[in-house]
Structure 1
């Protein structure tokens, strides 16, 4: 192929060998670093984000391989151009070229419009899968290799080059004789004669099939990730809406129907997980019962998402219905356990259910694998001794014991779900909550106490949502 772009505009001389060798060394170091990062980031491919990252790593490596091969060709100089008269003897073996080795291979060609003579480099024969002993195709014959859908684009590029002296820069797909489809990127320019007319056209052609496949993989994984993110956002919105529709919207002191129990000051708060974290199945509730007693409950259905939130709504509805029918806390949890055990999609849950009897200031309560209520009195706090009770849905026919606690005016009972204290659970979480006892003793309302809890634990980014309910005995 000629080294000129046109007869009156000679091409710039290539850079010195030393400069190109330095660029090759830099490229290969970067390839090694990138390959190491890719190996460290291996996963099982089940997560769309992981697949997207892996596709980007592969694409980057393909492009670095491409750059490495091109720099090596630039350093070694242009390949010899062969025409029909220079072709190898019939029957000469053409080296097998794999898809990976074709990735960065560059071929060249020139078509003389005056003599209708074509010259192809050996690499171009390999890219197009042509027998090296066959004559190179003319511009009129070249479209025969191209897929029907891409022929108009190739024709338009060649016509613009020959008629309007425009540069060629475009891609088309070819079907090799072995049946393999490849994507070829073609760049070229017209070569002008002494009279200013187009005398010939030269071009370089590069197989970019693997590169385009990597780009397509990146695009597909990105789209998959976006779809998954959209689905997650939609599910989160539905879960939040369902949660808000079911849980009492307490933004201050609770006011139950008929002005609520005069003997209790009630406040609760739901503490959501950090943005982007899924919605769980935590609940809190207080219900004034027909006999004048008050139902207090908190619970947590394991899992996240809309299905769990809807399951929580079902459990909360069952709790309210059975409590209104007069069912005691222990029996109520036993029925909840049976309900979970017979659902189509079995699940596990934990709960605390309490009935407060204002006449005797007695708290009757039961628990199902849940943190026990905390009692605060005279500036100190302690956890109540829990009766027997396993997780809801853990075993068929489970029985749940009940416990009674005599309360006094000014006492404060705190119910909460797991995760209220980020980074702590069990005894450690209990200690951090009971450490608030001196501050609770100075508070005037249950709302002030909940505010203290939120200030202490609610502003920390949490991986799971949580609930807290505080009942203060006022008379």
Structure 2
């Protein structure tokens, strides 16, 4: 604020007292409300969003404290000390004194101080608050302008020198920040504002300044910036990870997903296969469920559906590893029961242990034999002659649940026109009272009986169940025996 003794300015008129008091009351009330929010904010060091919210509250409280201190100064009017009757030329301004915010507001004592350096008499006047800010005992006396830089950070000494020089020589007001190192070793950030006081000849006779300790304010601002930057980094990492998950899924899942599998080798019992993936409503990009159909050497067809625990990259990488191992062992001729045993050992010894629900099957078109095994997975549904039933599952526990688990295998002879539906949990939404996934699929028997292709079967299932809101993804596979 301009000095009332600045040679070419008149003293400003004080504001209406009632207006300032009303602003002080509003500031105190708002400060209390923000502080209450800050106290109610439980900070979890591992939760970046919570830390950011708490840092913003701290910053708001510090800024309201500063606003309250300024309003109190505005309310008091002139600084303490003998006030001149008239802003005559050649008179010198008395040093500004810091004050405390009263009636429960945060104290400003120790955070705002004032000083005046008289160039004619070499006298220096410091307020008590300024001694507290600098950590300097009053009996040691105030610092002269030549001594002041000794406590200032080396990097900030040039700024302070420029401010003081501009004020003393050019008559410019001062407004800048610098850091000091107190005798107790604590580093504080100060903001200094002030003006020169001119004598009758227009020369600088003295310089007054108000210094505020804004260390906590700047600390809060840095905390907000750091947490905001951390949030941005986390968001970028999450986006990158999501993109990698999608790319990994694109690489390992069948290229024909969402449509029919390319026709298998011709024959009276050729298998027509189609599948659909139903994404999670909560996270459409999540993909922990998979399906796969692979024509094996010799003409057999591998059919598998499954689900692995985990999130994001962990789930995607586990799925890639599982599908790769499953396909490799199937191509090597390992039967479904033994294959799941090897897969269980692989997951159990993996660096990233996971649990898996898997159905693995092998269809022989020459004998129309469907051989299958399951690891904690829903059994396939067989639709024949307009009705559906659940195949009796062989024994098998979740993959990764126990070491050395054995998996039984079941065989069934299929007929021309038979339809198999393989699926993962989660087709129906949570809390659905119309029935389980199995019940709702079996209820579709009349509609599925009127379909001619596996693609039509998969479409019918999606039209019936695909619009449900689900917290997890799911998939369904339809396989129809030709002939």
TM-score, normalised on structure 2?
Answer: 0.83
Residue 466 (structure 1) aligns with: 474
Deviation at 1:36, TM superposition (A): 3.3
- Matched residues in 2 for 1:190 and 1:380: separation? 98
- CA drift at 1:37: 2.9
Q: Which residue number in structure 2 is paired with residue 338 of structure 1?
A: 345
- Unmatched segments (≥5 aa) in structure 1: 88-99
**Out of 166, 190, 199, which is 1:160 matched to?**
166
2:454 is the alignment partner of 1:446: yes
- What corresponds to 1:215 in structure 2? 221
> Shift in Å at residue 33 of structure 1?
2.8
What is the CA-CA distance between 1:241 and the residue it aligns to? Answer: 1.7
Q: Residue in 2 aligned with 1:202? A: 208
Q: 1:199 to 1:465 in 2, by over 3 A?
A: farther
1:184-195 matched pairs, under 5 angstroms = 184-195=190-201
Deviation at 1:209, TM superposition (A): 0.8
Aligned to 2:310: 303
Q: 1:51 aligns to what?
A: 51
| 8 Å CA contact 1:81, 1:109 repeated in 2 | no
1:303 Cα deviation after fit:
0.6
Match in the other structure for 1:321: 328
Q: Secondary structure at the match of 2:310?
A: strand
Distance 1:432 1:26 in 2: 62
d(CA) in 1 for partners of 2:45, 2:141? 47
Residue 386 of structure 1 is aligned with which of 393, 399, 409?
A: 393
Q: Which 5+ residue runs of structure 2 have no aligned equivalent?
A: 83-93, 96-105
The residue matched to 2:13 in structure 1 has which SS? Answer: coil
1:236 aligns with 2:228: no
Residues 66 and 103 in structure 1, CA contact (< 8 A), matched pair in contact too: no
Rounded to whole Å, the distance in 2 between the matches of 1:350 and 1:429 is: 16
**Is 1:364 equivalent to 2:381 in the alignment?**
no
CA gap of 1:358–1:11, structure 2 versus 1, over 3 A, is farther
CA separation of 1:71 and 1:386: change in aligned 2, threshold 3 A: farther
Change (3 A) 1:190 1:275: farther
SS of the residue 1:265 aligns to: strand
Cα displacement (A) at 1:182: 0.5
Q: 1:78 to 1:457 in 2, by over 3 A?
A: farther
After TM superposition, the structure 1 stretch with the greater mean CA deviation from structure 2, 206-215 or 10-19, is 10-19
Partner of 2:409: 402
Contact 2:109 2:129 in 1 (8 A): no
CA contact (8 A) 1:70 1:104 kept: no
8 Å contact 2:259–2:276 — kept in the other structure? no
Counterpart position of 2:8:
8
Asked if structure 1 preserves the Cα contact closer than 8 Å seen for 2:269 and 2:368, the reply is no
Gap change, CA 1:384 and 1:202, over 3 Å in 2: farther
Decide which of 288, 292, 295 is 1:285's aligned counterpart.
292
Deviates more, 1:65-74 or 1:270-279: 270-279
Does the 8 Å contact 1:298/1:351 carry over to 2?
yes
Q: 1:105 aligns with which of 105, 108, 111?
A: 111
Residue 420 (structure 1) shift: 4.0
Q: For residue 150 of structure 1, report the CA deviation from its aligned partner.
A: 0.7
8 A Cα contact 1:65 1:104, kept in partner: no
- Farther-moved stretch of structure 1 (239-248 vs 133-142): 133-142
Q: Which moved more, 1:107-116 or 1:308-317?
A: 107-116
What is the alpha-carbon distance in structure 1 between the residues aligned to residue 469 and residue 12 of structure 2? 60
Aligned counterparts of 1:144 and 1:325: Cα–Cα separation in 2: 80
User: Per-residue deviation at 1:273?
Assistant: 4.7
Q: Which moved more, 1:454-463 or 1:136-145?
A: 454-463
**Given that residues 356 and 362 in structure 1 are in contact (C-alpha distance below 8 angstroms), is that contact kept between their aligned partners in structure 2?**
yes
Which deviates more, 391-400 or 111-120?
111-120
**Residues 1:373 and 2:380 aligned together:** yes
Q: Distance in 1 between matches of 2:59 and 2:447?
A: 59
Once the two structures are superposed, the pairs formed by residues 8-157 of structure 1 within 5 Å of their partners are 8-77=8-77, 80=80, 105-157=111-163
Q: CA deviation at 1:249?
A: 1.2
TM-superposed CA distance for 1:146, in Å, is 0.8
- Between the aligned partners of 2:419 and 2:449, the Cα distance in structure 1 is 9
Aligned twin of 2:186: 180
Specify whether residues 169 and 473 from structure 1 end up closer, same or farther in structure 2 by C-alpha distance, changes over 3 A only: farther
- How many Å apart are 1:381 and its aligned residue? 5.0
Residues 239, 309 of structure 1: 8 Å contact kept: yes
Q: Distance in 1 between matches of 2:267 and 2:36?
A: 65
Shift of 1:238: 2.2
Task: Decide whether aligned partners of structure 1 residues 371 and 61 sit closer, same or farther in structure 2, where only a CA change above 3 A counts.
Answer: farther
Task: Return 459-468 or 144-153, whichever deviates more.
Answer: 459-468
Q: TM-score normalized by structure 1?
A: 0.84
Q: What is the alpha-carbon distance in structure 2 between the residues aligned to residue 107 and residue 410 of structure 1?
A: 93
Give the CA RMSD over aligned residues. 3.4
Secondary structure of the corresponding residue to residue 303 of structure 1: coil
